[in-house]
């Protein structure tokens, strides 16, 4: 019997990463298709195949990856870079853009057409440097100013009620509600079910008076109606500091509501009790100022106070960073991150079979090593980029500028002045 002739074939993986990619193939196989309209992205993804092939030793050992795997990883790396950059920028500017217009985004994270209610429409906000506005500080200050009685953005109204002989108790909430229902007052449109905040109660309207003591200057005034010894700077012929004028105004207002008042009151639950009981031929009316606090979500559409707008990271109108606007630093990070993702993909593929039987032996694959390297490299690249971004935060840049300015001033102090000879 004749000895048979054996013609063995080399058994390799059915899928082997080619040496180079093709830009014409990228758009059809990337899973999300976010950058497929960019010719530069298609070229970059194709070039990543050659980079991956060389870095993973494809010219020595077969790499069980397809070019589509590399294209998908390159797309993910671009999106990861955009995510980290936009997150960093959001931390930089959130306090500035609170309340500004937001937008609507499609499934790709791209801004839909004609969705912004402001001039932001049609622009790339993620590529724009906004002017610093301190919006959070301003809004917080307005809220605290109201509670401190220093103004703010909450309107203040005034109302009055008629005193009745020997009647001490009056419901100011009911006074405001009935006046608003009758109309003809600035607060007619307010929600009458909301509690009002009483600020001041007085029985005489404030008068313009420059003299410090009394309405007509005859009480406790040195010189009594003369121009010397008064607290008014225009009569003493002095150049006085601003604090003195402020003290005059504060004491005059205090005088209106305390020194010249014949009444006191007690206020509980917007119900006032007058002391002593009013009597005939004394005072007909009393006035009070109040505010109505709307809920925190209400918005004044006419004034565009920014309640409906950017409120956190999610509503900042950031789309994906265009591929063409990623510079050389960013593209190198993307290449390295895409390579780490390809290692992870290769590790997942090889991990489906721990060993491969060969004649007389078993071949152990390096799936675990690849997965470990991939995870470590991805984590290191993210940390590297975050560290760089933190060092470039607007607050950090301001600190560096201050340090440079201080160093320059120190150098100038050590530099002797030139001597000029005439």
Please give the order of strands across the beta sheet that includes 196-202.
156-162, 285-292, 196-202
Tell me what pLDDT residue 216 has: 45
pTM: 0.72
The reply to whether 376 falls in a domain is yes
Whether the per-residue pLDDT at 308 is higher than 70: the answer is: yes
The reply to whether 393 falls in a domain is yes
Q: How far apart are CA 103 and CA 114, in angstroms?
A: 9
Structure confidence at residue 236 as a pLDDT band (50, 70, 90): very low
What SS3 class is residue 105?
strand
Q: What is the pLDDT of residues 188-202, one digit of tens each?
A: 888 888 888 898 888
Tell me what pLDDT residue 206 has: 44
Task: Kindly state the average pLDDT of the residues 264-282.
Answer: 84
Structure confidence at residue 217 as a pLDDT band (50, 70, 90): very low
Q: Among 98-112, 319-333, 355-369, 402-416, whose mean pLDDT is lowest?
A: 355-369
The reply to whether 289 falls in a domain is no
The reply to whether 143 falls in a domain is no
Q: What is the pLDDT of residues 244-260, one digit of tens each?
A: 777 777 776 666 655 55
The reply to whether 348 falls in a domain is yes
Per the structure, how many domains does the chain have? 1
Write the DSSP symbol of residue 358. E
Q: How far apart are CA 355 and CA 192, in angstroms?
A: 78
Domain that holds residue 44: 25-129+315-406
The reply to whether 99 falls in a domain is yes
Structure confidence at residue 87 as a pLDDT band (50, 70, 90): very high
Tell me what pLDDT residue 35 has: 96
The reply to whether 349 falls in a domain is yes
The reply to whether 79 falls in a domain is yes
Query: At 289, phi and psi to the nearest 5?
Result: -105, 145
How many C-beta neighbours within 10 Å does residue 357 have? 9
Report the range out of 73-87, 88-102, 120-134 with the highest average pLDDT. Answer: 73-87
Tell me what pLDDT residue 397 has: 92
Q: What is the pLDDT of residues 151-182, one digit of tens each?
A: 777 788 999 998 888 899 999 999 999 999 98
Contact 70, 17 (CB under 8 A): yes
Q: Are strands 285-292 and 156-162 parallel, antiparallel or unpaired?
A: antiparallel
Contact 195, 294 (CB under 8 A): no
Whether the per-residue pLDDT at 359 is higher than 80: the answer is: no
């Amino acid at each position: 019997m004749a000895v048979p002739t054996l013609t063995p074939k080399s058994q390799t993986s059915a899928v082997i990463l080619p040496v180079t990619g093709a830009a014409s193939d990228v758009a059809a196989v990337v899973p999300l298709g976010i950058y497929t309209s960019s010719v530069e992205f298609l070229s970059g993804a194709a070039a990543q195949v050659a980079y991956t092939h060389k870095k993973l030793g494809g010219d020595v050992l077969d790499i069980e990856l397809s070019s589509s795997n590399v294209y998908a990883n390159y797309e993910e790396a671009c999106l990861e870079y955009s995510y980290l950059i936009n997150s960093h920028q959001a931390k930089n500017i959130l306090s500035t853009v609170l309340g500004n217009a937001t937008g609507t985004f499609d499934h790709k994270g791209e801004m839909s057409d004609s969705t912004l209610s402001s001039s932001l429409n049609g622009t790339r906000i993620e590529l724009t440097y906004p002017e610093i506005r301190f919006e959070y500080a301003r809004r917080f200050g307005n809220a605290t100013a109201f509670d401190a009685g220093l103004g703010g953005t909450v309107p203040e109204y005034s109302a009055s009620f008629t005193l009745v002989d020997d009647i001490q108790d009056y419901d100011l909430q009911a006074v405001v509600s009935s006046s608003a229902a009758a109309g003809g007052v600035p607060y007619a449109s307010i929600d009458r079910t909301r509690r009002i905040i009483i600020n001041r109660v007085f029985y005489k309207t404030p008068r313009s008076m420059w003299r410090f003591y009394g309405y007509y200057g005859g009480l406790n005034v040195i010189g009594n109606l003369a121009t010397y010894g008064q607290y008014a700077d225009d009569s003493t012929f002095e150049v006085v500091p601003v604090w003195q004028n402020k003290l005059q105004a504060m004491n005059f207002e205090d005088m209106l509501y305390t020194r010249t008042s014949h009444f006191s009151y007690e206020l509980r639950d917007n119900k006032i009790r007058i002391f002593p009981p009013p009597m005939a031929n004394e005072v007909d009316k009393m006035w009070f100022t109040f505010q109505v606090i709307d809920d925190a979500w209400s918005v004044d559409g006419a004034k565009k106070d920014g309640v409906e707008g950017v409120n956190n990271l999610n509503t900042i109108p950031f789309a994906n960073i265009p591929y063409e606007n990623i510079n050389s630093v960013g593209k190198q990070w993307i290449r390295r991150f895409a390579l780490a993702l390809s290692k992870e993909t290769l590790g997942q593929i090889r991990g489906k079979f721990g060993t491969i039987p060969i004649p007389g032996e078993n071949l152990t694959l390096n799936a675990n090593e690849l997965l470990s390297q991939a995870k470590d490299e991805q984590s290191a690249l993210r940390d590297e980029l975050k560290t760089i971004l933190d060092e470039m935060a607007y607050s950090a840049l301001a600190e560096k500028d201050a340090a440079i300015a201080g160093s320059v001033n120190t150098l100038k102090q050590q530099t002797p002045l030139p001597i000029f000879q005439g």
